[in-house]
């Protein structure tokens, strides 16, 4: 992997579980570290929920190798938030994450999502 391929600045976030005053479990996200990444869109699909279609964008997100990133972490860009679905550590020189962008209602998204 060439360092020049990592052109997107992203923030890694990990989930933190706490309890609300009511005793209910609450999941928030804590910033871990800003890193350089390469973002590649790999699919864009519609799913039907009720009376409206939802768009799910899936990306490959390439980072320098890290041991801490797990399924359920988030990758935050300037315009999108991705949930990590699977980290691939099969190559020694990189970590490749499969991430899904937050679901967008296709009737209200008049702008580009990348």
Express each pLDDT in 9-58 by its tens digit: 999 999 999 998 898 999 999 999 999 999 999 987 766 666 666 778 89
CATH number of 3-105: 2.40.10.270
- d(Cα 27, Cα 36) in Å, to the nearest integer? 26
What is the per-residue pLDDT across 83-104, written as a single tens digit (0 to 9) for each? 999 999 999 999 999 999 976 5
- d(Cα 40, Cα 57) in Å, to the nearest integer? 10
Nearest 5°: the CA angle 63, 69, 75 is 65
Q: Where are the domains of the chain?
A: 3-105
The maximal CA–CA distance of the chain, rounded, in angstroms, is 49
Q: What are the distances in angstroms from CA 81 to CA 20, 58, 62, 107?
A: 24, 11, 15, 19
């Amino acid at each position: 992997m060439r360092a020049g391929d990592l052109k997107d600045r992203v923030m890694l976030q990990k989930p933190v579980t706490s309890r609300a005053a009511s005793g209910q479990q609450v999941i928030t996200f804590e910033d871990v570290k800003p890193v350089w990444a390469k973002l590649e869109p790999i699919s864009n699909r519609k799913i039907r929920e009720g009376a409206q279609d939802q768009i799910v964008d899936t990306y490959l997100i390439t980072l320098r190798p890290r041991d801490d990133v797990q399924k359920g972490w988030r990758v935050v860009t300037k315009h999108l938030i991705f949930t990590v679905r699977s980290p691939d550590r099969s190559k020694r020189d990189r970590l490749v994450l499969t991430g899904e962008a937050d679901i967008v209602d296709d009737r209200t998204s008049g702008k580009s999502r990348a």
